[in-house]
Amino acid sequence: MKIGVRDMFYKMSTEETLEQLNSSKEGLNEEQIKANEEKYGLNQLAEERRQGVLSVFFSQFKDLLVLILLVAAAVSIFTGDLESTLVILVVIVLNAVLGTAQHFKAEMSLNSLKKLSSPLAKVMRGGHRRGIEAAHIVVGDILVLEAGDVVPADGRLLESYSLQVNESSLTGETESVSKITDAIEGNVVLGDQDNMVFSGTQVTYGRGLAVVTGIGMNTELGKIAQLMNETKERKTPLQVSLDAFGKKLSFIILIICAGILGLCIYRGMDLLDSLMFAVALAVAAIPEALSSIVTISLALGTSKMAKENAIMKNLKAVESLGCVSIICSDKTGTLTRNKMTVRDLFLAGKGEDSKERLLLSALLCNDSSVTDGKVLGDPTETALVEYYLKEHGENYAQLCSRYPRIAELPFDSDRKLMSTLQQIGGELVMLTKGAVDAMLHQASFIYSNGQERPITQEDIQLAQEQNHAYSEKGLRVLAFAQKKLNKETLELGDETDFTFIGLMAMQDPPREESKAAVADCLTAGIMPVMITGDHKVTASAIAEEVGILRPGQRAVTGMELDEISDQQLDKDIAEIAVYARVTPAHKIRIVDAWQKKGHIVAMTGDGVNDAPALKKADIGVAMGITGTDVSKDAASMILTDDNFATIVKAIANGRNIYSNIKNSIKFLLSGNTSGILAVVYTSLMALPIPFMAVHLLFINLITDSLPAIAISMEKPKADLLQEPPRRSDEPILTKNFLTEIGIQGLLIAAFTLAAYYQGLTISTATASTMAFATLCFARLWHGFNSRGKQSIFKMGLLTNVYSLGAFALGTLLLFAVLLIDPLQSLFQTVDLSQGNLTYVVGCALAPTVLIQLSRVIRELTQRKTNEVK
Ligand code: ADP
Ligand code: MG
């Protein structure tokens, strides 16, 4: 292909374009695909070059304090004790290695999430329709485009059936553009190239076929992406607030350390040693891991959620997930199984003819297809085909080709109708199916004995009564009609003056797990709300069955909702559990009304028109199986099983992730506080410093990483769904939270000092060894306290093996440093007597014993009060 030709495809005819690209409407063959893939590469936007291992590793040293420490250690190699400065260097490097590993672990889980939500595309290849990964599209491929798809590459249109595309992502124009196939003369701008489709734009209506003219960075989207390649991944609100808190905290710690440095020098300690000690204290006390703990917890949590069928598209949404207080859910497919079966027919007129016509309409006004005996497509429509095959068993393909389709008006949830124009015998007949109310209003005739006769009031009443009877049983009802036309095209205005044929009633039972999931919502303080395009009576029947519609609550239709003023809705909204016959625009109003009341709303949606409501909701939930690309694009969560129960599980996970993050932070901050408090105390009391610089760095290495990550692996606890949702504006660092950190820190510091005093009776070196050992060991034990609010007996020691592992490894390393000779001198520890070692173990255990004891007492008294109740 010549450079520059690419831009001119809109000027060529469809035949010229196909010839130029060596393609045809049947699509490319295997060889061509392979050749083109080699020539042009994958259909992907070039990603910003990722940071390499080395650069991530070195960025761990960018911290000013670590640099000071490095310099101090380097200088003291020449002046002081060579061994311990080397150890300091090694420990810092190990810390950096751990930091680097954490960075890549987080990045890897994020990437695997991105892959999970990467789009599929539909193409024609070798005469067959195929679903392939969008990345493997090549120039010359034939794209099949349908309402709801995101266009996967740039292309020249070959066919357009009322195809409309929203190109706002490229042109900023919010109105959809109607697409044509004719060549365009002269030079026109992107927005006017109406016979082209562009990567990243959204098909909002109709169907079409296009030949791919550009992929990857060679698309219009690619050109823009090149300009915007600099964008960085943004931090979540939690990370932002923790960063701010961390900065403040670091400032305070630096002042304390400066004070301590001053005191050390004043008391005549060696300058370099004082500096090294003060800086090591700062490094150990500043919780540099806060922000990365959040990333790791969120990333680990989301990969777990993905295994449980909920894919989160960004980390920010995970944070608000735990705050969700309202779930607005579709009925069909989400609360119900989406396995429909036709249960009954109702014929408007008389005679075998009527039934035949009803079945034929059901088969022809239908977009499902049969492949290898399997019926594929929208469940509402596959049910109709399955019913036809059961009744007639005729060759499906043969039948469809006997009555060719000339034109169509696709189904949308605003009209709630779908029409096709078929050649039946010598006549052109429009067949329409859809919601009973939307059709009966427009019916002028009925089909009876093979004839059309004017419809009477009685006919209408009979049909409405039948519709009501079906709906009360929770059946989904479709009406069918026809209309003879004398033209080869269809427009929306044609959907009037129908000849009513009859009704079909389908059953779609609730999913087994829906009822329990709804009950879980209610105990968790979350209100489930059903929003459906289906009939009010059908919707209410299902809603009652699963427990969404309870006494004192009611169902309203979209029309009734239009009559309710905003003020009235504000008052009534808590009573309305079911919205029936709604359009996507109503969804936005419902989300808005709840949000105004301060609620965090999750909203499901599957169609193109649902995208605005999904964006407006705090958590937009798209359907992985039946949802359109456009809805997946707009959503922040995708359900791979389309199941309501999965939303509830995801919320529980969201709550759990948040509480794990809180617990990790509590663990880190209380431990750091204890170290600082012990040093401040000895400094003020003019006692020898309790820790060597290596000690502090060792503690930082052992206790800051693994135990904190182990806490973020904590599984959801049973009582997670027994509390009301957290308020979204609740800060993580509340007064209670900080008080608890203070108390726990104080407790550990007190016992560390007890061990220190015991050691002082022998020597400063023993005191320092004992203080170090106690602080380190106590913080390892403290990891168990930090797993949750409950006592360890209630949580179970074995329910988090990671925390056991982190404890075991830490303990092993600590005792190696305390007991093994070469390590002893490297880490500046001395031999402890049997008695003193026991003393250390006792002091290290004491804070945990006290904390656990207070919890056990609380749990016992709580149980008592519960029993009294
Ligand atoms: P929901 O998914 O909440 O059940 P829909 O918007 O899919 O709502 O459907 C609303 C109504 O439109 C249905 O009750 C049915 O009468 C009608 N309908 C649904 N699917 C189709 C279709 N494929 N063709 C024609 N009418 C349909
Ligand atoms: Mg639907």
Arithmetic mean of pLDDT, 38-51: 77
Answer positive or negative: Cα dihedral of 149, 150, 151, 152: negative
CATH code of the domain containing 434: 3.40.1110.10
Same domain, 36 and 145: yes
- The DSSP secondary-structure symbol of 496 reads -
Ligand nearest to the CA of 332: 1
Range scoring the smallest mean pLDDT among 133-142, 166-175, 333-342, 795-804:
166-175
The answer to whether residue 62 scores a pLDDT higher than 80 is no
Same domain, 495 and 395: yes
- Rounded distance from Cα 179 to ligand 2 centre (Å): 26
- 330 is annotated as an active-site residue: yes
Residue-level pLDDT at 3: 39
The ligand 1 atom nearest the CA atom of 333: 2
Residue-level pLDDT at 48: 59
Final residue in a domain of this structure, among 588, 609, 642? 642
- Rounded distance from Cα 432 to ligand 1 centre (Å): 13
User: Which residue bears the tokens 């007639």?
Assistant: 392
Q: Would you say 16 and 24 are in contact if contact means Cβ atoms under 8 Å apart?
A: no
Asked if the structure places residue 457 within a domain, the reply is: yes
Same domain, 459 and 545: no
- Rounded distance from Cα 464 to ligand 2 centre (Å): 22
Residue-level pLDDT at 300: 83
Asked if the structure places residue 29 within a domain, the reply is: yes
- Between residues 126 and 442, the one the model is more confident about: 442
What share of the chain has pLDDT > 70, as a percent? 95
Residue-level pLDDT at 226: 65
Residue nearest to atom 26 of ligand 1 (CA): 434
The answer to whether residue 288 scores a pLDDT higher than 80 is no
Residue nearest to atom 2 of ligand 1 (CA): 332
Q: What are phi and psi of 725, to 5 degrees?
A: -60, 150
Instruction: Name the H helices within 728-833.
Output: 735-760, 764-785, 792-795, 801-819, 821-826
Band of pLDDT at residue 412, cut at 50, 70 and 90: confident
Asked if the structure places residue 439 within a domain, the reply is: yes
Residue nearest to atom 18 of ligand 1 (CA): 434
Q: Would you say 526 and 651 are in contact if contact means Cβ atoms under 8 Å apart?
A: yes
Asked if the structure places residue 101 within a domain, the reply is: no
Final residue in a domain of this structure, among 575, 608, 642? 642
CATH code of the domain containing 38: 2.70.150.10
Residue 40 tokens read as 């042009």
Q: Would you say 139 and 175 are in contact if contact means Cβ atoms under 8 Å apart?
A: no
pLDDT digits (tens, 9 = 90+) for 637-693: 999 999 999 999 999 999 999 999 999 999 999 999 999 999 999 999 989 989 988
The answer to whether residue 305 scores a pLDDT higher than 50 is yes
The answer to whether residue 184 scores a pLDDT higher than 60 is yes
The answer to whether residue 323 scores a pLDDT higher than 80 is yes
The ligand 1 atom nearest the CA atom of 381: 23
Q: Which of 504, 534, 590 to mutate to test the pocket of ligand 1 (most atoms within 8 A of CB)?
A: 534
Residue 686 tokens read as 């003019």
Asked if the structure places residue 106 within a domain, the reply is: no
The answer to whether residue 166 scores a pLDDT higher than 80 is yes
What's the angle, vertex CA 693, arms to CA 690 and CA 696, rounded to 5? Answer: 75
Q: Which of 332, 385, 420, 542 to mutate to test the pocket of ligand 1 (most atoms within 8 A of CB)?
A: 332
Residue nearest to atom 20 of ligand 1 (CA): 380
Range scoring the smallest mean pLDDT among 36-40, 427-431, 601-605:
36-40
CA–CA dist 678, 697 (Å, integer):
16
Identify the top-confidence range among 250-254, 353-357, 743-747: 743-747
The ligand 1 atom nearest the CA atom of 478: 16
Q: Would you say 595 and 618 are in contact if contact means Cβ atoms under 8 Å apart?
A: yes
The answer to whether residue 232 scores a pLDDT higher than 70 is no
Residue nearest to atom 12 of ligand 1 (CA): 416
Cβ within 8 Å of residue 358, ≥6 positions away? 345, 347, 480, 501, 502, 504
Ligand nearest to the CA of 331: 1
Band of pLDDT at residue 4, cut at 50, 70 and 90: very low
Give the CB-side neighbour count of residue 219, counting CA atoms within 13 A. Answer: 29
CA–CA dist 561, 541 (Å, integer):
19
Residue-level pLDDT at 5: 46
pLDDT digits (tens, 9 = 90+) for 350-379: 988 999 999 999 999 998 888 777 888 888
Asked if the structure places residue 250 within a domain, the reply is: no
The ligand 1 atom nearest the CA atom of 330: 3
The ligand 1 atom nearest the CA atom of 606: 2
Same domain, 516 and 503: no
- Rounded distance from Cα 535 to ligand 1 centre (Å): 9
Range scoring the smallest mean pLDDT among 225-229, 246-250, 708-712, 745-749:
225-229
pLDDT digits (tens, 9 = 90+) for 117-126: 667 899 999 8
Same domain, 30 and 175: yes
Q: Would you say 147 and 203 are in contact if contact means Cβ atoms under 8 Å apart?
A: yes
Same domain, 356 and 444: yes
Q: What are phi and psi of 50, to 5 degrees?
A: -80, 155
Residue nearest to atom 7 of ligand 1 (CA): 533
The ligand 1 atom nearest the CA atom of 367: 23
Domain count, the chain: 4
Band of pLDDT at residue 113, cut at 50, 70 and 90: low
The answer to whether residue 286 scores a pLDDT higher than 50 is yes
Residue nearest to atom 16 of ligand 1 (CA): 435
Ligand nearest to the CA of 413: 1
Band of pLDDT at residue 822, cut at 50, 70 and 90: confident
Residue-level pLDDT at 114: 66
Asked if the structure places residue 267 within a domain, the reply is: no
- Rounded distance from Cα 437 to ligand 1 centre (Å): 12
Give me the count of residues in the chain: 869
pLDDT digits (tens, 9 = 90+) for 571-587: 999 999 999 999 888 99
Range scoring the smallest mean pLDDT among 35-39, 291-295, 569-573:
291-295
Residue-level pLDDT at 193: 92
Same domain, 416 and 443: yes
Q: Which of 416, 536, 628 to mutate to test the pocket of ligand 1 (most atoms within 8 A of CB)?
A: 416
Q: Would you say 152 and 135 are in contact if contact means Cβ atoms under 8 Å apart?
A: no
Band of pLDDT at residue 471, cut at 50, 70 and 90: very high
Arithmetic mean of pLDDT, 161-183: 88
Asked if the structure places residue 102 within a domain, the reply is: no
The answer to whether residue 453 scores a pLDDT higher than 60 is yes
- Between residues 600 and 94, the one the model is more confident about: 600
How remote is the C-alpha of 748 from its chain's centroid?
Answer: 39
Residue nearest to atom 3 of ligand 1 (CA): 532
pLDDT digits (tens, 9 = 90+) for 478-524: 999 999 999 988 888 999 999 999 999 999 999 999 999 999 999 99
Same domain, 847 and 760: yes
The answer to whether residue 530 scores a pLDDT higher than 70 is yes
Q: 0.75 exceeded by the pTM?
A: yes
Residue-level pLDDT at 231: 43
CATH code of the domain containing 736: 1.20.1110.10
CA–CA dist 598, 257 (Å, integer):
43
Mean pLDDT of the chain: 89
Write out residues with Cβ below 6 Å of ligand 1: 330-332, 378, 380-381, 411, 413, 416, 418, 433-435, 476, 478, 532-535
Q: Would you say 65 and 282 are in contact if contact means Cβ atoms under 8 Å apart?
A: yes
Residue-level pLDDT at 801: 95
- Rounded distance from Cα 581 to ligand 2 centre (Å): 11
Same domain, 658 and 632: no
CA–CA dist 394, 862 (Å, integer):
69
Range of the domain at 172: 9-47+111-230
Q: Would you say 749 and 771 are in contact if contact means Cβ atoms under 8 Å apart?
A: no
CA–CA dist 314, 317 (Å, integer):
6
The answer to whether residue 342 scores a pLDDT higher than 90 is yes
The four Cα atoms 145, 146, 148, 152 give a dihedral, to 10 degrees, of: -10
Same domain, 619 and 675: no
Band of pLDDT at residue 140, cut at 50, 70 and 90: very high
β-strand partners of 369: 376
pLDDT digits (tens, 9 = 90+) for 99-111: 788 778 777 766 7
Band of pLDDT at residue 61, cut at 50, 70 and 90: confident
Same domain, 316 and 302: no
Band of pLDDT at residue 236, cut at 50, 70 and 90: confident
Ligand nearest to the CA of 475: 1
Q: What are phi and psi of 681, to 5 degrees?
A: -60, -50
- Rounded distance from Cα 605 to ligand 2 centre (Å): 9
The ligand 1 atom nearest the CA atom of 534: 14
The answer to whether residue 869 scores a pLDDT higher than 70 is no
Q: Which of 328, 413, 504 to mutate to test the pocket of ligand 1 (most atoms within 8 A of CB)?
A: 413
CA–CA dist 555, 580 (Å, integer):
7
Arithmetic mean of pLDDT, 850-862: 94
- Rounded distance from Cα 514 to ligand 2 centre (Å): 18
The answer to whether residue 233 scores a pLDDT higher than 70 is no
Q: Out of 154, 194, 330, 618, which one is annotated catalytic?
A: 330
- Rounded distance from Cα 533 to ligand 1 centre (Å): 6
Residue nearest to atom 10 of ligand 1 (CA): 533
Band of pLDDT at residue 754, cut at 50, 70 and 90: very high
Using DSSP, state whether 345 is helix, strand or coil: strand
Residue-level pLDDT at 10: 92
The ligand 1 atom nearest the CA atom of 438: 16
The answer to whether residue 228 scores a pLDDT higher than 60 is no
Band of pLDDT at residue 2, cut at 50, 70 and 90: very low
Residue nearest to atom 25 of ligand 1 (CA): 434
- Rounded distance from Cα 371 to ligand 2 centre (Å): 23
Same domain, 322 and 417: no
Arithmetic mean of pLDDT, 810-827: 92
Final residue in a domain of this structure, among 642, 667, 701? 642
